[in-house]
Amino acid sequence: MKNNLMIAALLAIAVSCSQKPTESGGADSLQTAPADSSVNDSTATAMEATMNIEETTTTDQYLMVMSDSAASTQEIGQKLGAIYGKIGACAAKCKMEMAGPPAAWYNGPNAPWAFTAGLPFKSKCSKPDQGISVKEIKGGKAVVVHFFGPYDQTGKGYEAGQSYMKEKNLMAGGAPYEVYVTDPAAEKDPYKVQTDIVFPLQQAK
């Protein structure tokens, strides 16, 4: 039952991701979330998302991930739902326990998009199902933008994170990724839904 509820929550998150951010950051060295050029200013909400930025230290993570591509923002949402469902089913068979919320990486702001999405677990699966691979994230210093608002505004979070890094003279140590902290099926107010945008930093040698 617990696994079924978790998969349902992940599918809800995927649905909320079916509209990708309408803005992207300007730093060429950083990958940003996809932007949908078909959305114009007349559709923008009157409310503004809120966010706060912190420098933190992340921990090592082990994830099971799947990669795919999409030609539209709607297709991204559909494919995220399928990915999280397949990984959740595989984890249930292996009796694996999740170690945190789902995450996703995107190749850039423009279609067609290539992306990788996955779930973190406390243990490793020796034989993942076909199409599922292992991704390990080394912990280290990072800038995290805690973004509260509709998912289609998260481009502002990428811009804020990039501006913060430029101001503090911080160098990117890897591609940024998104962590879907809040289950939008449980939190009906879109301005209370939290998405963390993580910018790994170069580590001191």
Let me know if residue 127 belongs to a domain.
yes
Residue 25 has pLDDT above 50, yes or no: no
Residue 85 has pLDDT above 90, yes or no: yes
DSSP assignment, residue 191?
A: G
Please tell me the predicted confidence (pLDDT) of residue 45. Answer: 45
What length is written for the chain? Answer: 205
pLDDT tier, 37 (very low <50, low <70, confident <90, very high otherwise): very low
Q: Rounded CA gap, 97 and 119, in Å?
A: 10
Region 2-21: what's the mean pLDDT?
51
Please tell me the predicted confidence (pLDDT) of residue 44. Answer: 45
**CATH number of the domain that residue 64 is part of:** 3.20.80.10
Report phi then psi at 55, rounded to 5.
Answer: -95, 130
Let me know if residue 54 belongs to a domain.
yes
Q: Which residue has the higher pLDDT, 138 or 43?
A: 138
| Domain range enclosing 175 | 2-22+47-200
- Amino acid at residue number 120: P
C-beta neighbour count of 125 within 10 angstroms: 18
Report phi then psi at 63, rounded to 5.
Answer: -125, 150
Residue 195: which H helix or E strand, with range? Answer: strand 194-200
Residue 54 has pLDDT above 80, yes or no: yes
Let me know if residue 32 belongs to a domain.
no
- Amino acid at residue number 10: L
Q: Rounded CA gap, 27 and 167, in Å?
A: 13
Closest CA to 177 of 98, 115, 123: 115
Question: What's the number of domains the chain is made of?
Answer: 1
Let me know if residue 82 belongs to a domain.
yes
Q: Rounded CA gap, 42 and 22, in Å?
A: 12
Let me know if residue 42 belongs to a domain.
no
Region 117-136: what's the mean pLDDT?
93
Let me know if residue 33 belongs to a domain.
no
Residue 141 has pLDDT above 70, yes or no: yes
pLDDT tier, 12 (very low <50, low <70, confident <90, very high otherwise): low
Residue 14 has pLDDT above 60, yes or no: no
Please tell me the predicted confidence (pLDDT) of residue 33. Answer: 58
